[in-house]
Structure 1
Amino acid sequence: MKLRNLFLSLLAGSALFITSCEECDHEGDRSIASSLQVGDVVCSDGSVLSKEKFSSFKKEPVAIVYHVNRNPEIKALGYAVSIRDVAPKAFTDSLGVEQETSASLEKEDGNENTHAMYRHEEVKSPLAVYVFDMWRYGQSAYIPSVKQLTYLYQQIGLVNQRIESVGGLPISLQPGDCWLWTSTEVEGQRDSKAWLFSMQSGTIQETPKDQTHKFRPVISIY
């Protein structure tokens, strides 16, 4: 099954991954975070399983948990990354227009950035269009921000082991193939550049937005 169909199955199957639920009260859900671990497997039916439990069930993996949130000011319990790359796509189909992302290197706002990229009326974003095609029932995948990919870089060894163990494609760490799009535009150059993130070194590189590069969809766990 292709990545898009996997995510459609996931997104239709669970209320765990609602990223646009501003009216919800998540304080009672904090107990879930205590059991969530980096390396847990998100399955196509919406369940999140530990390594041990996953090996006991015949379920289809779609993503690996790479960050567990401990900041009470952020509603998401954690983030999970797709076990597959998406074919290279451009951040935008033309230059000269700001797409109204926060341009912050510290905010965990990939979902909000992806919304801004998608709804912009002057230019289209092939990245945002792709992930919006995955949406069902108010649930979504999105393009991670610089900060959210920093968390992934910090756990890349373990995450790649877990991706490979469930039959996915490890995130490339090879020079020239390790760069992933973020959803963060470059402050002061928003009309022309956004940040690429190196999963080999953890560095970022400002890049013309009409270039095509890989990215990995992320989901928030609530």
Structure 2
Amino acid sequence: MLRLDAVSHRYPGSDVDALEELSLQVPGGTAMGLFAPSGSGKTTLMRIASLSLRPTGGAVTVAGHPVSGVRYAVPRSIRRTMGTVGQSPRAATSPRLSLRRIIAEPLSFADGRRTPHASAYTERIAELADLVQLSPDLLDRLPHQVSDGQLQRACLARALALDPKVLLCDEPTAMLDASTTAVIMRVIAGRAERGAAVLVASHDHAVLGASCHVLRPLGGTE
């Protein structure tokens, strides 16, 4: 479902590669954990896999389709098959949107709307909120009115809104408490059980080992 072939990347101004000819395949129905310390290139890899950063070498294939563009240069049909969760929920959300509208964002954009009209998706939002254990009273709060863990659950719900076939999570439980980590990882692993290709990057081996087949370091298998 997700394949990276000999992917390399060198940032402008650098004389060394952040990634060098890395190959990785994540079949549908599989949760893979990428275990590596900070500074090892896993975030660069996740950005390439999520089609937000163009590799300087190699190829990315999603659901059998080679992808050469990034971001909105990627066909919508491919972008809709992918969901992403980042490390910082506050950096990934607008402080002006309620959790309800954050969850509704991909639903709205899929319908060609410019702003998330959450009222049109009440049933789906409620289903997603229940999945990530967000109580209904939290949905109309703004990001500054909830904890990091609650906001990250909303980000995960947003990533799952279009039932993605590929789910990419870069340090999704960093700095979260144990109970929130358990909820998030259980939901993430559940996507693989439903047939999605799931890739999770983390420096926490215990978190990955509980839910994923672990790869280390950036390509070695254990």
Shorter-normalised TM-score: what interval? Answer: under 0.3
TM-score, length basis structure 2: 0.26
Structure scoring higher RCO (CA < 8 A, sep ≥ 6) equals 2
User: Which structure has more helix as a fraction of its residues?
Assistant: 2
Relative to the length of structure 1, the TM-score reads 0.26
